[in-house]
Amino acid sequence: MSNSNSITVQILDKEYSIICPQEERTNLVSAARYLDGKMREIRSSGKVIGADRIAVMAALNITHDLLHKQELPEAQANGSTREQVRDLLDRVDLVLATDPDKAQG
């Protein structure tokens, strides 16, 4: 992909290098910051231990918020929102699956 660049984001004190089109860099950085904030909130509560579990809880919380805040009467809009959430969850799964330190929690 000639229009893609690698960008490094930091989430919960770990760096992740992600290939991202130039025009999506700002959105990706914003998403990473938001996710980092949510994960830090969950970690600071002390109720969830381990980076993988914190990531899953953050993903569930963000998904829940997104689906309820953007609930639209049009079925097509709901399908689109769900598709976007699935895409984001797939990206999170990919990053976690390729993280060599994930076993260290």
**Structural domain boundaries of the chain?**
4-104
Is the entire prediction scored with pTM above 0.85? no
Q: What's the pLDDT score for residue 74?
A: 54
pLDDT at 1: 43
CATH of 4-104, one of 3.40.640.10, 2.40.50.140, 3.20.20.10, 3.30.160.880: 3.30.160.880
Weakest mean pLDDT among 9-13, 26-30, 84-88? 84-88
Query: Per residue in 21-57, pLDDT tens?
Result: 999 999 999 999 999 999 999 999 988 889 999 999 9
Average pLDDT over residues 56-79: 76
Please tell me the distance from the alpha carbon of residue 53 to that of residue 50, in angstroms, as a whole number.
5
Rg from Cα positions in the chain: 15
Whole-number pLDDT of residue 3: 46
